[in-house]
Amino acid sequence: MKNIITYIVIAICLISSIWIGINNNKEEKSNYSPSKKELKLRELNNINKKIDYFQDKNLDRYIAYKKKNKQLKIKDVIKRVNIGLDKPYYTATQKTPYQNKDYILVNKYIYMDENYIPNNLEDLEPSYSRSGMKLVKTAKTALEEMINAAKSEGYPIRVMSSYRSYHYQVSLYNKYVENDGKEAADTYSARPGYSEHQTGLCIDIDDGVINYTNFENSKSFKWMQENAYKYGFILRYPKDKTEITGYTYESWHYRYVGKEIASYIKKNNITFDEYYVMFIENKN
Ligand SMILES: [Zn+2]
Q: What are the tens digits of pLDDT across the range 223-263? A: 999 999 999 999 999 999 999 999 999 999 999 999 999 99
pLDDT of residue 91: 93
| Angle CA 96–237–55, to nearest 5 | 45
How far does CA 155 lie from the centroid of its chain?
A: 30
pLDDT of residue 6: 67
CA of 53 to the centre of ligand 1 (A): 29
Mean pLDDT within 154-161 = 97
CA of 219 to the centre of ligand 1 (A): 20
Give the confidence band of 31 by pLDDT, cuts at 50, 70, 90: confident
pLDDT of residue 2: 65
CA of 170 to the centre of ligand 1 (A): 15
- Mean pLDDT, the chain, rounded, equals 92
Mean pLDDT within 134-145 = 98
| Rounded Cα–Cα distance for residues 136 and 196 (Å) | 13
pLDDT for residue 197 is more than 60: yes
Q: Give per-residue pLDDT as tens, 92-138.
A: 999 999 999 999 999 999 999 999 999 999 999 999 999 999 999 99
Using DSSP bridges, classify how beta strands 94-95 and 110-111 pair: parallel, antiparallel or unpaired.
parallel
Q: Give per-residue pLDDT as tens, 176-188.
A: 999 999 998 988 8
Radius of gyration of the chain from its Cα atoms, rounded to whole angstroms: 28
Helix, strand, coil abundance in the chain, percent, nearest 5: 55, 10, 35
pLDDT of residue 9: 63
pLDDT of residue 32: 87
| Rounded Cα–Cα distance for residues 117 and 129 (Å) | 21
CA of 205 to the centre of ligand 1 (A): 8
- Active-site amino acid positions: 250
For 7, residues 6+ apart whose C-beta sits below 8 A from its C-beta are none
Nearest Cα to Cα of residue 202 among 178, 230, 235:
235
| Rounded Cα–Cα distance for residues 265 and 177 (Å) | 33
CA of 203 to the centre of ligand 1 (A): 6
Give the confidence band of 78 by pLDDT, cuts at 50, 70, 90: very high
pLDDT for residue 282 is more than 70: yes
Whether residue 108 contacts residue 90, with contact meaning beta carbons closer than 8 Å, is answered with yes
Using DSSP bridges, classify how beta strands 233-235 and 253-256 pair: parallel, antiparallel or unpaired.
antiparallel
Give the confidence band of 25 by pLDDT, cuts at 50, 70, 90: low
Angle between helices 219-227 and 137-152 (to 10 degrees): 120
Element (H, E) at 149: helix 137-152
pLDDT of residue 29: 57
Q: Can you point out the beta strands (E) in 97-243? A: 110-111, 121-123, 134-136, 158-161, 202-206, 233-235
pLDDT for residue 150 is more than 90: yes
Element (H, E) at 210: none
Nearest Cα to Cα of residue 123 among 113, 134, 109:
134
CA of 190 to the centre of ligand 1 (A): 9
C-alpha dihedral sign at 148, 234, 196, 277: negative
CA of 112 to the centre of ligand 1 (A): 16
pLDDT for residue 23 is more than 60: no
- Of the chain, the percentage scoring pLDDT greater than 70 comes to 90
Residues with CB under 5 A from ligand 1 (ion): 204, 253
Whether residue 107 contacts residue 253, with contact meaning beta carbons closer than 8 Å, is answered with no
CA of 161 to the centre of ligand 1 (A): 7
pLDDT of residue 3: 72
pLDDT of residue 100: 96
Q: Give per-residue pLDDT as tens, 208-230.
A: 999 999 999 999 999 999 999 99
